[in-house]
Structure 1
Amino acid sequence: MMIAVYMFLLLCSLFMACIHCDPAQLCGNRCLCSSTHDQKIVHTAVCSKDFPSQLTHNISVLIMKNLGKTLNKDDVNSPSKLTKLDLKGKIKEIQDHAFDIENLKNLSVLDLSNNTIQKLTSKTFSGLNNLRELYLDNNNVKVIENGTLTFMGKLNILFLNRNYLTDIPYLPMNITKLQLQHNHIRTVNFHGQKLYNLKYLDLSGNAYDSIKKMEFLLGNHIEQLSLGDQILQIEPQVFQETKELKRLELEGKDSLFPETWEGIFQINSLETLTIKYIPLPPLNQHNFSSMSHLKSLRLIHINTDVQMKRNVFKQLVQLEELDLQGSPNIAQHIINTNVLLSSLSHLKTLILQSVGIKTFRSNQSELLKNLSFLDISNNKLQCDCRLKWLINKVITGQMKLKNPKQTICSEPASYYGYSILDSRVTYTLCPKDESTDTEATKIPDKARVTFYPPSTSPNQSMNSKTIIYILIALSTMVVILAVLLIIMIFRNWRQK
């Protein structure tokens, strides 16, 4: 009864909406509008091919699809005062003053990503003085003329990643987030601009190999910095004024100069340090002595070995995450050295993905007494009694296993390809010995998982269910036939 009432009310509301809302009147042709519960208040319009000739003044977001390759001023006809304009598509060229119209004066977000734009002139964005976010990622931009961006005094976020720039363009002074990764930038030069408000900068995936202090005037408000691909040398003075730098990511192909490492290890504000592919220098206690605030250390895809003193992590008292993904030599050296593990007792997350380990023993976990997240995926694991403790901890909720579907057994052959949490592994792996069972290894009833009984395989269980279903179907058919037979006999009797 209640379901019928709900359906009736829903149909009534749809009927009333159809009466009071005319999509063509609100959006015009080739447009769809999204609105709030009050169908008369429409905020977003999605239109195809051409800019709409009529739009309700409530529209603040316009998303255009399938525009032509050239964007002219006559094309950009907006009858509504927009705050966001999304023009992803096939645009190759933007003519000068294309956005210089009255109803775009208050535009705050312009998204031109995923087009094929090649050139931006000093008049491309004229009129957009109030723009705060500009997205030009995934284009073919090779040239940005001087003055193209600098007049936008309110611009805070600029995405220029995945283009073909060879130099850093002149930038608005109030820029706070800048993405320039995966271009062809050969020299890191900000043209003497002091970008004191810049907090986030990504310059990774470019062609430069050095950074000099005089060309890298970022001020002391930078918080996140990503550098590299072919980086070799960074002048130590680059990091001297970065007093608020919390996240640093370095990616390269060759060893860094010794003075570069000296500058990195002097950054005492760091909370996350990520090194990708770059060989590490010999490490001792003094290297991390200034990094007492470090919470996450990521040494990723480093194939070379590194000399580590036993007290190397002693100063990292706040370290919570250690990511050694794809760094087999470093990972195996750390996990097989009890002194190193014991100095990491405060770790909460340990990533050992793709490091070539076969097992992770319980005594290693005991040294990492605060560990709650473990990733041992993409390794050729040997599933035997040494992993039973880990399975029990995961099942009982004492530890979370990251990427369980990629944490699979390689040996023995009977378990090959199964996740270590598959019931066919968890039930038969190292059968429980009741005489030696302790409270620590018992699984609470609420945390228990369903296992197949020892004498019943999954296929046997499925076959039993199939037989039951067949018997039920046959019984139903017999009952139906019996009813039909009784009806026929009754009719013949009445006819006689």
Structure 2
Amino acid sequence: MMVVKDSKAAYLYFIFILQIVGMATQNCPSPCYCNEYFEVFCNNTGISEIPRGIPKEAILLDLGGNKIKKIPYGTLNGLVNLIGIGLGNLGFSGHEIEAGALNLPNLTEVDLSFNKYKMVPPNLPKSMSTMYFSNNPIEVLDARSFDDYSSLEYIDMSNCNVTHIKPNTFDALVNVDIMHFAFTKLTNAGIPDAAFAKNKKLNYLNLRFNKLTRLLKGLPSSLESIEYIGNPIKEIPSNAFLDVPNLKTLGFMNSSLTKMNDNAFAGLEKLELLDFMSAAIISPITNNTFKGLTSLETITLDDNHIPSIDIGAFRDFKILTSLRLSGNNLTTLNKGVLDSKFIPNLNTLFIDFNPWHCDCHLRWLREKVGNASYVIEDPNLIVCHGPEKVAGKSWNELKPEDFVCN
């Protein structure tokens, strides 16, 4: 950022900015809007062809939401600074972009979202690194869909109708880093086991709210984040993630997950975040369920049906600070589960909305309210379901001596 202290210099700088804004405004073709950042917005203006006189300094051109029928070759010639172009919601479905029309030296971002494509179109710039393709009715990704676009680093195909990915479809994408397939219609039968195997730079894979019933196989070891949120996956087998040892975040929120087998997360020593909020876990947490997760900083287990937790289940959580167990089927908890030798940095514990049986076996935990190295959040929401004498009472109404065995 430029800092101007001298008043005369400040005045000259102000005039300079006005001149830039003035040039941008004067050179702006009607009915478009141009700003001082050399961004040209012609979107949703009702035009049926690309306006003439687009400033040669333009770095962004948005033509979306209009009645433009095609992008002719030569129409954009001279826009040598253009980095991004918006062609969304134009009703394009096939060959409306003429060969060479987008061959501009610096054009790397193309937005084709909200169109009617049933295939990845030809004639896109080979230098393209970012492709927005969400909300198109494409159903099948053919083996040669991306052969001409090996420079792609970012692809968003969310909210498309994709049901099948053919073998070798992504093989040409040797530079891809981020891929979004959220809210599509992918099933395990529609994804070959090695669909992403050659994407050696793939870092983030978004598969939210598809129809996957099991984890994908043959993923590249480069992956650091994968989202299975909202999929009907019911089980995580043992050793399920050995092919992705660099994972840092893993999400199963709002899924149908009911069971995590022992050693399910073996090999994930770098995992930092694990999210199971509002899944459907009914299996106990054993002392081998989370074995090896030595880098875990955050785990979310709220709103499941977990019935019990073994001593030592959290023994590898050396740097974990927050533990969320709200909304499960826990009736009691052994003191050893939260032993500081297992989770020495714990500072926040959430255990509300469980059917606690508040007898002498749970007294130790009530004694921790306001008297521990960690905070037990919302004691007014921690309600006893038994024994009968204390049933329906919250922990802020009860004292430790009320937790008795008959």
TM over 0.5: yes
* Structure 1 match to 2:125: 128
Q: TM-score, normalised by structure 1?
A: 0.61
Question: Higher helix fraction: Structure 1 or Structure 2?
Answer: 1
Residue 487 of structure 1: aligned partner: none
Percent of aligned pairs with the same amino acid: 17
Q: Does 1:165 align with 2:165?
A: no
**What amino acid is the match of 1:61?**
L
Amino acid at match of 1:60: I
In structure 2, the CA distance between the partners of 1:55 and 1:355, relative to structure 1 (3 Å rule), is farther
1:52-451 aligned within 5 A: 52-68=51-67, 70-73=69-72, 77=76, 79-81=78-80, 82-95=82-95, 97-98=97-98, 100-101=100-101, 104-113=104-113, 115-121=114-120, 124-168=121-165, 170-171=169-170, 172-187=173-188, 188-189=191-192, 190-191=194-195, 193-211=197-215, 216-227=217-228, 229-232=231-234, 236=238, 238-251=240-253, 252-256=255-259, 258=261, 262-276=263-277, 277-302=279-304, 304-324=305-325, 327-330=327-330, 333=332, 338-343=335-340, 344=343, 346-350=345-349, 363-369=368-374, 371=375, 376=378, 386=396
SS in 2 for 1:367: coil
C-alpha contact (below 8 Å) 2:141/2:165 kept by paired residues: no
CA distance in 2, matches of 1:158, 1:145: 16
Q: Deviations over 1:374-395 (max 9, x none)?
A: 87599699999949xxxxxxxx
State the one-letter code of the partner of 1:28.
Answer: P
Structure 1 residues 233, 310: CA separation in 2 closer, same or farther (over 3 Å shift)? closer
Q: Which amino acid aligns with 2:288?
A: H
* Distance verdict in 2 for CA 1:218–1:64, change over 3 Å: same
Cα pair distance change 1:375/1:120, threshold 3 Å: farther
Which residue identity does 1:83 align to in structure 2? I
Residue 112 to residue 243, structure 1, CA distance change in 2 (3 Å): same
Which amino acid letter does the alignment assign opposite residue 177 of structure 1? I
In the alignment, the residues of structure 1 paired with residue 238 and residue 286 of structure 2 have an alpha-carbon distance, to the nearest angstrom, of 20
Q: Distance in 1 between matches of 2:17 and 2:209?
A: 55
Structure 2 gaps of 5+ residues are 1-6, 357-364, 384-391, 398-406
Deviation at 1:33, TM superposition (A): 1.1
Per-residue Cα deviation, 1:427-474 (whole angstroms, up to 9, x for no partner): xxxxxxxxxxxxxxxxxxxxxxxxxxxxxxxxxxxxxxxxxxxxxxxx
Change (3 A) 1:306 1:159: same
The amino acid across from 2:111 in the alignment is D
Structure 1 residues 239 and 57: CA distance shift in structure 2, 3 A: same
Shift of 1:67: 1.7
* Contact 2:102 2:123 survives alignment (8 Å): no
User: Which residue is 2:400 aligned to?
Assistant: none
Q: Tell me the secondary structure at the aligned position of residue 262 of structure 1.
A: coil
Q: 2:39 aligned with 1:44, yes or no?
A: yes
Alpha-carbon distance change, 163 to 385 in structure 1, aligned in 2, over 3 angstroms = closer
Q: Which amino acid aligns with 1:137?
A: S
Paired residue secondary structure (1:21): helix
1:319-353 per-position Cα deviation (integer Å, ceiling 9, x unaligned): 1232345x2435x756xx65444545522455568
Could you tell me which amino acid in structure 2 is paired with residue 167 of structure 1?
H
Residue 95 and residue 227 in structure 1: after superposition, are their counterparts in 2 closer, same or farther (change >3 A)?
same
Q: Specify which structure has the bigger relative contact order, considering alpha-carbon pairs within 8 angstroms and separated by 6 or more residues.
A: 2
In structure 2, the partner of 1:453 is none
Query: Which amino acid in the other structure matches residue 253 of structure 1?
Result: S
Q: Shift in Å at residue 157 of structure 1?
A: 0.9
8 Å Cα contact 1:134-1:159 kept in structure 2: yes
Distance 1:196 1:85 in 2: 28
Shift of 1:102: 5.6
**TM, length-normalised to structure 2:** 0.73
What is the aligned partner in structure 2 of residue 458 from structure 1? none
- CA distance in structure 2 between the aligned counterparts of 1:72 and 1:205, rounded to whole angstroms: 34
**Counterpart-to-counterpart distance in 1, 2:287 and 2:124:** 56
Structure of greater Rg:
1
Q: Which residue of 2 aligns with 1:3?
A: none
Q: CA deviation at 1:256?
A: 3.9
Aligned equivalents of 2:325, 2:75: Cα separation in 1 = 51
* CA separation of 1:103 and 1:32: change in aligned 2, threshold 3 A: farther
| Count of aligned positions | 355
Shift of 1:167: 1.8
SS of equivalent residue, structure 1 residue 322? strand
Other structure's SS at 2:155 match: strand
